[in-house]
Amino acid sequence: MSRLPQRIATLLRAPRLLAAAGSAVQYVGLGVVAYVLLFHLSVVRGSSMSPGIHDGDRILVDHLSYVLGGVHRGDVVVLRCPLDTSLDYIKRVIGLPGDEIKIEQGDVFVNGTPLVEPYVARPDRRTRLLETVAPDHYFVLGDNREHSSDSREFGQVPRRLLRGRVDLRVWPPLRAGAVL
């Protein structure tokens, strides 16, 4: 006789458990949808951003960063190549609209001020350049200056070709963390 009330109690708890499980599934589903809409996992191909970012690194690309906020000097970005928009490149923003960019003897100057670039292992001493960044465009460089196809080659990048900002490397595990 004592088993009957226990069974009734168990049956009464089942709908609550199912509802809780259903809510959990909905939250996980919403999380997956938000992740897909906000971020994109991308594999880096090439060495243009070494020594900080290596060939084969997995990075998260934040697609909403430039919808909700502005582009900043020093941002690491994924962009569509202006010469072939089917290709994505990863580069660092050096010049913003209206900036004067000067490169001489491997040193980069923005509006006459030398740019401090701890992320560059070896500057490219062959490049000489002086230009002003056009409205709604950005001047980008790879950190591996001697082996990078960037604004020195393909010109300034229109804002519409910026796909998103890169703040996080997720693979390999020993180097996972913030992208500086």
Active site residues: 48, 91
- What six digits make up the tokens of 138? 């950005």
Q: Are 141 and 155 in contact (CB under 8 A)?
A: no
Q: Are 160 and 113 in contact (CB under 8 A)?
A: no
Q: Are 79 and 89 in contact (CB under 8 A)?
A: yes
- β-pair partners for 104: 107
DSSP string covering 58-99: EEEEETTHHHHS---TT-EEEEEETTEEEEEEEEEEEE-TT-
Strands (E), the chain: 39-43, 58-62, 76-81, 84-95, 100-104, 107-110, 113-114, 129-132, 137-141, 157-158, 162-171, 177-178
Whole-angstrom distance, CA of residue 135 vs CA of residue 94: 15
Q: In 3-state terms, what secondary structure has residue 151? A: helix
